[in-house]
Amino acid sequence: MSASGLHVQCRDEPGVLHRLTGEIAEQQANVVTVETGAVHQGVANLYFELDGPDIHAVAQRLRELPYVVACSEPRPMESIFGSRLIVIGGGAQVAAVASGAVQEADRHNIRGERISVDTIPLVGEAEIAEAVRAVPRLPRARALVLAGSLMGGEIAEAVREVREQGIPVISLNQVGSVTQAVDLVVTDPLQAGVMAVMAIARTARFDLARVRGQSF
Amino acid sequence: MSASGLHVQCRDEPGVLHRLTGEIAEQQANVVTVETGAVHQGVANLYFELDGPDIHAVAQRLRELPYVVACSEPRPMESIFGSRLIVIGGGAQVAAVASGAVQEADRHNIRGERISVDTIPLVGEAEIAEAVRAVPRLPRARALVLAGSLMGGEIAEAVREVREQGIPVISLNQVGSVTQAVDLVVTDPLQAGVMAVMAIARTARFDLARVRGQSF
């Protein structure tokens, strides 16, 4: 069951999200996903994915509202940017992991999948732990790779928390306690990126559950 | 002026977004940003950024609601994953652009900035045009790089549309009309990634407006 996309461009003013969600509920539709995008020249981009009997009717109703500038029905974000692999780390490793993951995602996407590789280069225990804890708040985030040489303490604790939320975590083989907290440890950064993409791909025969706790 | 983050974990049930935004409005706060994250074991992650006189009071009020499981006040996403450079393209080039951008973002982030590099490997005129048009709907997307060898037609049209929404676009030097539609053309993929990060970085002395229409 896949929700329908709805892109609303509306005046950027207080309360508009509450009013729009009220109109959507009145049309018997349910908001599955929402993301706020760019605001340009007083016009905000709001993107919804909705479940409901008649999304065209919702779009038609929203177009009648005085604060709505435009309303279109793009395909869902899952069909465009797809599942997201999040890469967090610093220095030489983070670019190598991203490169491996992008090359592997390219090979899957060319066969019809949609996998994005989203990378934040970061150093510092507190900074990385904060970013790890923010991953479950990101739309469509499906797995996390930690690309560094020394991670432990608060980062290991954050890894345990996000795994409890259903996000698998892969780490490079590195100094520190984080390697004890993750699903999988991989030494080569290119391969860490490749394996992480395999773990979230539908077209790969790779089941993270079957190698959990192992090191490569 | 920066909005305050609010992370709400709540029961994943119809109408919850409308009810939450109603409670937020009653506390005189305004939703600036919203993103829906992972849903795990019936609990949804909703992330807001709010403007208002007392966000602690909003959090306290939301914690009293029967459908709210937890509510915390993380720093805004702009302070964690920051500005997003979006990279779209296929083959060898897309990984090279991503690698250049990640390495440059690492150099800025180590000095206190936050820049993410988010890559979707894609081929096909319709597929790439669709992804280009979706960029303004992504949270915190600040610039776009097109990493390919042949792009034109509908992609060039999509590029003009997103530039009108305030998103600058950089293209690799390539076959097709897209190079006529972008802000900047760069031949070397590593440098294209580097320049794109420089264009959105606060710590770089690089003004895209001063080189618009040029080719490097």
Beta carbons within 10 angstroms of residue B80's beta carbon: 22
- Nearest CB partner across the interface for A165, out of B22, B38, B136: B38
Query: Rounded to an integer, what distance in angstroms lies between the CA atom of residue B62 and that of residue B47?
Result: 13
Residue with tokens 């009309």: B177
pLDDT value for A209: 86
Q: How far is B69 from chain A (nearest CA, A)?
A: 14
Instruction: State the average pLDDT over residues A30-59.
Output: 93
A31/B45 touch (CB, cutoff 8 Å), yes or no:
no
Chain B residues lying within 8 Å of A41, measured CB to CB: 166
Query: Rounded to an integer, what distance in angstroms lies between the CA atom of residue A182 and that of residue A172?
Result: 10
Q: What angle do CA B121, B122, B125 make, to 5 degrees?
A: 155
A33/B31 touch (CB, cutoff 8 Å), yes or no:
no
* For B40, nearest residue in chain A (alpha carbons): A165
Chain B residues lying within 8 Å of A120, measured CB to CB: 80-82, 105, 109, 114-117
A121/B99 touch (CB, cutoff 8 Å), yes or no:
no
Is 90 exceeded by the pLDDT of residue B1?
no
Is 60 exceeded by the pLDDT of residue A144?
yes
Instruction: State the average pLDDT over residues A65-93.
Output: 95
Q: How far is CA B153 from CA B68, B125, B132, B183, in A?
A: 48, 8, 13, 17
Look up residue A93 and give its amino acid: Q
**For A59-72, how does the pLDDT look when each residue is reduced to its tens digit (9 = 90+)?**
999 999 999 999 99
Tell me which residue of A165, A87, A79, A15 sits closest to B7, measured CA to CA: A165
Chain A residues lying within 8 Å of B111, measured CB to CB: none
Band (pLDDT 50/70/90 cuts) for residue A163 is very high
Chain A residues lying within 8 Å of B116, measured CB to CB: 118-120
Q: How far is CA A27 from CA A10, A20, B82, B97, B138, in A?
A: 19, 11, 35, 44, 25
A116/B116 touch (CB, cutoff 8 Å), yes or no:
no
A7/B119 touch (CB, cutoff 8 Å), yes or no:
no
* For A12, nearest residue in chain B (alpha carbons): B32
Is 70 exceeded by the pLDDT of residue A1?
no
Between A202 and A170, residue with greater pLDDT: A170
Q: Which residues contact B166 (CB under 8 A, 6 or more apart)?
A: A38, A40, A41, B136
Beta carbons within 10 angstroms of residue B181's beta carbon: 20
Chain B residues lying within 8 Å of A138, measured CB to CB: 35, 37, 81
Element (H, E) at A197: helix A189-200
Q: DSSP letters of chain B?
A: --PEEEEEEEE--TTHHHHHHHHHHHTT-EEEEEEEEEEETTEEEEEEEEESS-HHHHHHHHHTSTTEEEEE-PPPGGGTT-EEEEEEE-HHHHHHHHHHHHHHHHHHHTTT--EEEEEEE--SHHHHHHHHHHGGGSTTEEEEEEE-SB--THHHHHHHHHHHTT--EEEES-BSTHHHHSSEEESSHHHHHHHHHHHH-SSS---HHHHTT-B-
pLDDT value for B98: 98
Beta-carbon pairs below 8 A across chains A and B: 204
Whether residue A83 contacts residue A115, with contact meaning beta carbons closer than 8 Å, is answered with yes
A98/B117 touch (CB, cutoff 8 Å), yes or no:
yes
Is 80 exceeded by the pLDDT of residue A204?
no
* For A137, nearest residue in chain B (alpha carbons): B37
Residue with tokens 């089941």: A207
